[in-house]
Amino acid sequence: MEVEKTNLEGCFLIHDTFFGDHRGYFFESFNKNTFLEKTGMNINFVQDNQSSSQKGVLRGLHFQHGEFSQAKLVRVLEGRVLDVALDLRKASVTYGQHLAVELSGTSHTQLFVPRGFAHGFLVLSDKAVFFYKCDNFYNKTSEGGIIFNDPDLAIDWKLEQKELLLSEKDTMLPTLKEIANTLNF
């Protein structure tokens, strides 16, 4: 496992060591001791989630706040996505900044998104299977979000807005400015 720092404080790209031959492949997708050694973060993942989506599906930008805030380790099992992490931690030097990175089922790269971030992804391939580990359980009353096309964030989603497929809930999310005073990370 190789760990690469990103432009966002506490956010890492994890490049898995991949072993392949004529029979297929093997890699260790997570090792708590190695993760601690390479990042200095002692993470205890308690929930795994997986979704399947078609091209143009945009899920996000979502977060949980308060005591139910979540760190996530995200990966793509099949297909390609544009993965976006947005720093919502007011005390952070990277508050309000985002990272957009392409993840795929063939890159064997994961993104670690710490607590205090909003997260979302857009499917770029015909289909994508997305998988992530969380260090806290989902709690509906603690969920929140930021609208994907917040003009102040200027996220380049790589597809035109008319090509995007969003849930009704995700089309009605506020901008970061609209909820900045309510964030408690």
Contacts of 162 (CB under 8 A, 6+ apart): none
Query: With 90 as the cut, is the pLDDT of residue 163 above it?
Result: yes
Query: With 90 as the cut, is the pLDDT of residue 162 above it?
Result: yes
pLDDT for position 53:
98
Contact between residue 99 and residue 8 where contact means Cβ atoms under 8 Å apart = yes
Q: What is the mean pLDDT of the chain?
A: 95
Percentage of the chain with pLDDT > 70? 100
CA-wise closest residue to 107 among 85, 84, 82: 82
- Residue that is written with structure tokens 């979302």 in the block: 120
The pLDDT tens digits for 130-155 are 999 999 999 999 999 999 999 999 99
CATH of the domain at 24: 2.60.120.10
Residue 62 appears among annotated catalytic residues: yes
pLDDT for position 102:
98
Query: With 90 as the cut, is the pLDDT of residue 98 above it?
Result: yes
**Both tokens of residue 173?**
């999310």
**Which residue in the list 95, 98, 119, 132 is annotated as catalytic?**
132
SS3 category, 8: coil
Contact between residue 60 and residue 83 where contact means Cβ atoms under 8 Å apart = no
**Both tokens of residue 43?**
């993470």
pTM above 0.85, yes or no: yes
Backbone angles phi, psi at 83, to 5 degrees: -105, 135
Mean pLDDT of 18-43: 90
Residue 98 appears among annotated catalytic residues: no
Dihedral of CA atoms 65, 80, 30, 26 in degrees, nearest 10, equals 170
Mean pLDDT of 9-18: 91
Report the alpha-carbon distance of residue 173 to residue 82 in Å, rounded: 20
- 152: number of Cβ within 10 Å: 9
**Which residue in the list 15, 22, 62, 119 is annotated as catalytic?**
62
| Percent helix / strand / coil, the chain, rounded to 5 | 15, 40, 45
Owning domain of residue 17: 2-182
Total of domains in the chain: 1
